[in-house]
Amino acid sequence: DDCLTTGLSAFVAIYGSCTKSDLRMQLAFERSVEIGPYRCSRLGIGTWSWGNRLLFGYDESQDDSLRDTFDYCVARGVNFFDTGDSYGTGPRFQGRAETLLGRFSENNGSSDDVVLATKLASFPWRITPGSFERASQDSARRLRCSSVPLVQIHWSTANYAPWQDKVIWEGFARMYEKGYAKAIGVSNFGPRQLRDIHHFMRERGVPLSSCQFQMSLLKRSAIESGLLETCGELGIQPIGYSPLCLGVLTGKYSVNQLPTGARGILFRELLKGSQVLLRTLRAISAERGKSVAQVAINWSLSQDVLTLVGARSVVQAVDSLGATGWRLTGQELEDLDRAARACTQQMIENP
């Protein structure tokens, strides 16, 4: 169809001769992640930008491009899409990403093959287990599914409202037991918090399937804190988001060429403090014949995490899919890690 032809043409123009079957084989090589009852592609699509006017300038005229991006990714073997019930700016667009995913999945005819994962926000007014059960049902309606494949706690309240944590955990245990969610997971938890909720769920006989966290060359705290190791120890699938740091690690920006809006303010200091890393990325990019973004994404994939990338157009999706089907060498990984440690600025938590 049109979006596949457009995507393939873009890939050929940028990376040389390639066929649809070549890319299917690349994605099949990555398709080895198990979350609950599902087998998921190692590369997934994050939808934070879908409906986000503040950081990404979303408006409804972009919906056709987002639909084409979804169709392109599904046709290429990507079957994991991550969203959240708080994704979307303001009352008008809150839940917009879920709504779009549900519509695209239903219209594409891929509902049975695609794993739609959402996150429920730990809002302060959600103070009962039932409020989270109802939130999961609201998400299911927007996603147009009877039971959400994966529902995740968006963040822990341990640092500011520790009493709410157990309420949230109880709500998630119930939604799994009642079949509102096929699998449950967490997001933005530290290693101690992960052990605590894993113990709670194990006592209830509820499997904890995934743990999502920020993961990039400018945010390596999941490695340094032992969180990634804890996931492996507990048998929990790690999911890494923001491998490109909202675009800092695409190689497209400099201190003299910043994105507009709020990202430009954030990027100014990050770019100043990460020049050694960007030079290393560009050197490997040139040597490998890959884009800078592909090298940064491949670093994340090389940490054995399901890696989420943002995509608002087929061209962006083509570039991200080009990060699969190959591996950085041990020396290249060492060079990138060394350059990352030399950075004087790190990505902030949950920007």
Tell me the longest C-alpha to C-alpha distance in the chain: 57
Distances (CA, A) of 239 to 155, 210, 223, 286: 14, 7, 13, 28
Alpha-carbon radius of gyration of the chain: 19
DSSP conformation letters of 142-177: HHT-SSBSEEEE----TTT-HHHHHHHHHHHHHHHH
The upper half-sphere exposure of residue 343, i.e. CA atoms within 13 Å in the direction of its Cβ, equals 27
Q: How many CB atoms lie within 10 A of CB 131?
A: 15
Q: Are strands 38-40 and 33-35 parallel, antiparallel or unpaired?
A: antiparallel
SS3 of residue 141 by DSSP? helix
The phi and psi torsions of 254 (rounded to 5 degrees) equal -145, 175
Instruction: Assess contact for 275 and 249: CB atoms under 8 A.
Output: no
Q: Using CA atoms, how far apart are residues 129 and 150, in angstroms rounded to an integer?
A: 18
Residues classed as catalytic: 87
